[in-house]
């Protein structure tokens, strides 16, 4: 039981290494990948069952690593990381199903490495360990986009990597400074988050240090101004990478804001709150308007993703029980909805070899099941009641109103944002006359239904019965909030 989190992190990459070292055929790689994802899912289920919602950080494991500098292998999970961990456990098997026919081994290896990287990042409680995993998840994305992507994929792969690394580097400076400062203050080295939280800085230093972290997360989320890597990367990357980018990695940006922003820099964040709030509100509408005239479906939903993540970032900065509950819930439901829509876009691409909207149309006439799922996921993204997105958005809006009535009113524009591009897109892609690339469009087969049904069911369950999930989240949120000095 103690080892369970380490197993969750490392099983995928260990299997990948074993398969790679023995040079096994694609059949074995597939089996290995499926086994690793199933094992991970089971282990995560065990963690959920044994999870105590009011227990703070659990399943903690500390192993000394680079002892001279106090860097330890320190992992643990609390309610917030549990949400993202569960998402990874749900999305990865579905993606493996999606790439079942894929014969290029690199695809599979990269996916497994990605899973390790992402899981490790969300579970790390030691800053250097976190940084390690943060970089680890970037490399497979680089290869997936750069090698297996489409369009100007090499250019876009470079763009995403360089911009992300810019952020990571600034974060590294802050981490090292923090570590050194801790040493100065306490005579021993440590990079654990809860140790570093005890440090005190004067306002000026603290602002610069926080900036290092915030830059990394602002680029990841992305907030407006730091986002130009997003649409090209999403547009050029293959579907599994896009799903991970949107559903998991973007969430790690907001997760970072939570864990490290509020973990270490709680008071400094109020200095940055106006900036982040402004950027988030601008981003909410900017991305949505930008998406209207997009002609490539993946880019359009890249912007959609950015818009919703800006809302989540707003919810986090506003820092009260409703907005945090809503943000955490939105992390989960948006990941499910965007995984669904990007997978459907991938399925569309497989059939029509084109994602340009002008070549599409009339899918509802030819493939009703496909159309049904597509419309369902698109409307989930728009926050239709009955799906989880609605509950989340409502909570964030209430939280924003509690903070400030104007911020609340502006955040309510999220109700308007998604519809700007989704309905016109549905009209041109799903309805209307059959487009040039659409003839011969196959409806969903059983494997594809198996991929999509879990996502749809989860979206419905989170929409109809949020009370199943809230009790897991509420205690930890309250704990962190009260630690922040009652910022309610």
Q: How far apart are CA 117 and CA 137, in angstroms?
A: 5
Q: How far apart are CA 286 and CA 103, in angstroms?
A: 39
Query: In the complex, what is the shortest distance from the CB of residue 478 to other proteins, in angstroms, rounded to a whole number?
Result: 8
Q: Nearer Cβ to other proteins, position 132 or 460?
A: 460
Q: Nearer Cβ to other proteins, position 140 or 146?
A: 146
Q: How far apart are CA 452 and CA 471, in angstroms?
A: 27
Please tell me whether residue 407 binds other proteins under the rule CB under 8 A: no
Please tell me whether residue 172 binds other proteins under the rule CB under 8 A: no
Q: How far apart are CA 264 and CA 259, in angstroms?
A: 8
Q: Nearer Cβ to other proteins, position 51 or 424?
A: 424
Q: Nearer Cβ to other proteins, position 71 or 364?
A: 364
What's the farthest any 2 CA atoms get from each other in the chain? Answer: 72
Please tell me whether residue 240 binds other proteins under the rule CB under 8 A: no
Write phi, then psi, for 389 (nearest 5 degrees).
Answer: -60, -35
Contact 463, 387 (CB under 8 A): yes
Please tell me whether residue 482 binds other proteins under the rule CB under 8 A: no
Give how far Cα 414 sits from Cα of 381, 408, 420, Å. Answer: 11, 10, 10
The residue from 423, 447, 450, 457 that contacts other proteins (CB under 8 A) is 423
Binding mask 296-325 for other proteins (x = CB under 8 A): ------------------------xxx--x
Q: Nearer Cβ to other proteins, position 184 or 433?
A: 433
Write phi, then psi, for 453 (nearest 5 degrees).
Answer: -60, -45
Give how far Cα 4 sits from Cα of 40, 43, 86, Å. Answer: 10, 7, 14
Query: In the complex, what is the shortest distance from the CB of residue 164 to other proteins, in angstroms, rounded to a whole number?
Result: 13
Q: Nearer Cβ to other proteins, position 156 or 190?
A: 156
Please tell me whether residue 406 binds other proteins under the rule CB under 8 A: no
Query: In the complex, what is the shortest distance from the CB of residue 107 to other proteins, in angstroms, rounded to a whole number?
Result: 29
Q: How far apart are CA 28 and CA 26, in angstroms?
A: 5
Q: What is the rounded (10 degree) CA torsion for 402, 405, 409, 410?
A: -90
Q: Interface with other proteins by CB under 8 A: which range of 125-133, 191-199, 306-314, 419-427?
A: 419-427
CA angle 465, 91, 360 (to 5 degrees): 95
Q: Is 437 helix (H, G, I), strand (E, B) or coil?
A: coil
Q: Nearer Cβ to other proteins, position 113 or 279?
A: 279
The residue from 195, 294, 296, 448 that contacts other proteins (CB under 8 A) is 294
Q: Which residues bind other proteins (CB under 8 A)?
A: 163, 225, 227-228, 231, 286, 289-294, 320-322, 325, 362, 364-365, 368-369, 372, 379, 384-386, 390-391, 394-395, 397-398, 401-402, 405, 408-409, 412-413, 415-416, 419-420, 423-424, 426-427, 430-433, 464-467, 470-471, 474
């Amino acid at each position: 039981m103690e080892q369970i989190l380490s197993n969750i992190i490392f099983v995928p990459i260990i299997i990948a290494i074993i398969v790679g070292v023995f040079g096994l055929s694609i059949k074995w790689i597939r089996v290995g990948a499926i086994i690793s994802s199933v094992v991970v899912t089971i282990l995560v289920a065990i963690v959920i069952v044994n999870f105590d919602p009011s227990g703070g950080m659990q399943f903690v494991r500390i192993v000394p690593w680079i002892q001279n500098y106090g860097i330890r292998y320190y992992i643990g999970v609390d309610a917030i990381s549990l949400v993202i961990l569960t998402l990874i456990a749900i999305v990865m098997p579905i993606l493996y199903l999606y790439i079942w026919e894929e014969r290029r081994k690199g695809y599979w290896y990269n996916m497994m490495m990605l899973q390790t990287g992402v899981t490790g990042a969300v579970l790390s409680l030691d800053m250097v360990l976190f940084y390690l995993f943060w970089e680890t998840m970037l490399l497979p994305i680089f290869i997936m986009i750069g090698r297996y992507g489409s369009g100007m994929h090499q250019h876009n792969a470079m763009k995403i990597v360089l911009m992300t690394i810019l952020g990571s580097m600034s974060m590294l400076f802050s981490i090292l400074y923090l570590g050194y400062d801790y040493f100065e203050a306490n005579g021993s080295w440590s990079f654990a988050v809860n140790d570093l939280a005890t440090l005190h800085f004067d306002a000026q230093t603290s602002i610069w240090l926080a900036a290092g972290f915030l830059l990394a997360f602002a680029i990841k989320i992305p907030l407006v101004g730091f986002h130009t890597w997003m649409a090209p990367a999403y547009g050029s990357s293959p579907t599994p990478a896009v799903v991970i980018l949107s559903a998991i990695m973007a969430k790690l940006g907001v997760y970072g804001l939570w864990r490290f922003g509020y973990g270490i820099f709680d008071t400094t964040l109020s200095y940055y709150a106006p900036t982040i709030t402004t950027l988030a509100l601008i981003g909410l509408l900017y991305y949505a308007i930008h998406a209207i005239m997009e002609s490539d479906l993946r880019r359009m939903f890249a912007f959609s993703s950015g818009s919703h993540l800006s809302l989540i970032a707003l919810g986090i900065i506003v820092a009260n029980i409703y907005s945090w509950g809503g943000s955490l819930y939105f992390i989960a439901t948006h990941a499910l909805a965007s995984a669904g829509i990007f997978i459907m876009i991938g399925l569309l691409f497989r059939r029509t070899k084109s994602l340009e909207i002008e070549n599409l149309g009339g899918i509802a006439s030819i493939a009703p099941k496909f159309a049904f799922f597509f419309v369902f996921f698109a409307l989930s993204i728009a926050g239709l009641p009955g799906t989880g997105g609605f509950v989340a958005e409502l909570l964030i809006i209430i939280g924003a109103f509690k903070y400030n009535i104007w911020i609340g009113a502006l955040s309510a524009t999220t109700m308007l944002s998604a519809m700007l591009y989704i309905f016109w897109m549905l009209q041109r892609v799903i309805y209307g006359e059959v487009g040039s690339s659409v003839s011969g469009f196959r409806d969903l087969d059983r494997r594809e239904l198996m991929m999509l049904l879990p996502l749809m069911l989860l979206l419905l369950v989170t929409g109809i019965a949020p009370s199943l999930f809230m009790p897991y989240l509420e205690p930890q949120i309250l704990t962190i909030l009260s630690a922040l000095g009652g910022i309610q």
